[in-house]
Amino acid sequence: MTNAELLQLLSDVRAGRVSDHDASAQILARIRQLPFEDLGFARVDTHRELRQGFPEVVLGLGKTPEQIAAIAERIVGHGQALLITRAEPAAFAAVQAVIPNAIYHPAARVITLPQGEVPRGNGTILIACAGTSDLPVAEEAALTASAMGNDVDRLYDVGVAGLHRLLNEQARLYSARAIIVVAGMEGALPSVVAGLVQVPVIAVPTSVGYGASFGGIAALLGMLNSCANGVAVVNIDNGFGAGAMASLINHL
């Protein structure tokens, strides 16, 4: 409730257009107002778009297909763009039943439905990944960034064991406004990339590897300990988080 609104209301009170009780109720109501819809098992944050520039994104993990579909229905019902991550095929089936034109990206386990006006980012977000096995996470990042209004450039399988594959593409590195680097195993790629460029690097460790990779811990630690400047890290396999962070940066 802004100062202007308050002044208008108070002037209405003085003019007798609004009673004291009504005005009091109105002010308290605005404070108490529900910027979400309560489904019992979930509170859909329908004002997220206003507050953060993109509607609420649904994390499919740990929700039943029925819950996912019900939440999706509300979001789409508000005319907002739909983005669901970690969606298994069964979840997509349930969503498709209520939103027939929803699109499934199986490699990334992502469901999308473009809707409404999403503001465009200012530059390109480059998404680099170290190996073919990192592709699902890289795609989750790419689809997220794309859904949030950004141009996306994909640079895949450029791990540090064959440096020439990366050095060969320096031009693409230099033309990005933000770079997402996805890597498993020892997670060294973000350090090398950040040493070459002058834009923020979002590092995404993946659970790719075996043995002492410990489901991505090795890559995570490698990235947190990067000796290069301009690297920040998101959770293991969190392609979505990297895409959202890069999008915020690209919209500045």
Which 74-113 residues touch a second copy, going by CB under 8 A? 86
Q: Are 78 and 53 in contact (CB under 8 A)?
A: no
Q: Are 104 and 139 in contact (CB under 8 A)?
A: no
The two structure tokens encoding residue 244: 């959202």
Q: Are 179 and 153 in contact (CB under 8 A)?
A: no
Single-letter code of the amino acid located at 158: V
Between CA 76 and CA 82, with CA 78 as vertex, the angle to 5 degrees is 30
How near is the Cβ of 192 to a second copy at its closest, in Å?
5
User: Which 188-247 positions form the footprint of a second copy (CB under 8 A)?
Assistant: 188, 191-192, 194-200, 202, 205, 207-238, 241-242, 244-245
User: Tell me, what DSSP letter sits at residue 109?
Assistant: T
Q: Does an H or E element contain 151, and which?
A: strand 151-155
Contact residue for a second copy among 17, 29, 30, 41 (CB under 8 A)? 41
User: Tell me, what DSSP letter sits at residue 216?
Assistant: G
How near is the Cβ of 126 to a second copy at its closest, in Å?
14
- Among 245, 233, 129, 141, which residue's Cα sits nearest to residue 183? 129
Contact residue for a second copy among 81, 110, 140, 186 (CB under 8 A)? 186
Task: Kindly tell me which of 16 and 100 has the beta carbon lying closer to a second copy.
Answer: 16
Contact residue for a second copy among 126, 146, 177, 182 (CB under 8 A)? 177
Reduced to 3 states, what is the DSSP secondary structure of residue 234?
Answer: coil
Segment interacting with a second copy, rule: CB under 8 A, options 51-59, 73-81, 88-96, 97-105: 51-59
Contacts with a second copy by CB under 8 A: the residue count is: 111
How near is the Cβ of 118 to a second copy at its closest, in Å?
14
Task: Kindly tell me which of 127 and 242 has the beta carbon lying closer to a second copy.
Answer: 242
User: Which 109-168 positions form the footprint of a second copy (CB under 8 A)?
Assistant: 122, 130-135, 156-165, 168
